[in-house]
Homo-oligomer: A and B are copies of this chain.
């Protein structure tokens, strides 16, 4: 009732982080560590269709076309976006599972989380 803890989301803990895991995880956070890329994720998500072409993203970001393409490539390579051709346009779409997986790494093992959800 008055419990302020979200049932499925126990306190965040980074457990047994090997150097390799740390580098992998850090590389994902590094991708999100740029305001333009966060705005891209936000803008694409905000589209009614859930997808956006490059030309729709240039003006709201206030960056050059090559720079926007660069950021989209970084997001794509990291698995945050998918892309699909439609004629000359390339439509990008957010992959929610990637963000989901990312912050799952900040939580205790899924077993414990599952248990809390189920019981």
Contact = CB atoms under 8 A, between A and B. Distances in A.
Q: Chain A, interface size: which category?
A: 35 or more
A6 interface: yes
Contacts of A45: 13-15
**Assembly stoichiometry (copies):** 2
Chain A interface, >50% SS class: helix
A42 B31 CA distance: 21
B23 A41 contact: no
Given A8-B7, A103-B103, A106-B99, A17 B39 contact: yes
Interface of A: 6-9, 11-17, 19, 22-23, 25-27, 29-39, 41-42, 45-46, 96, 99-100, 103, 106, 113, 117
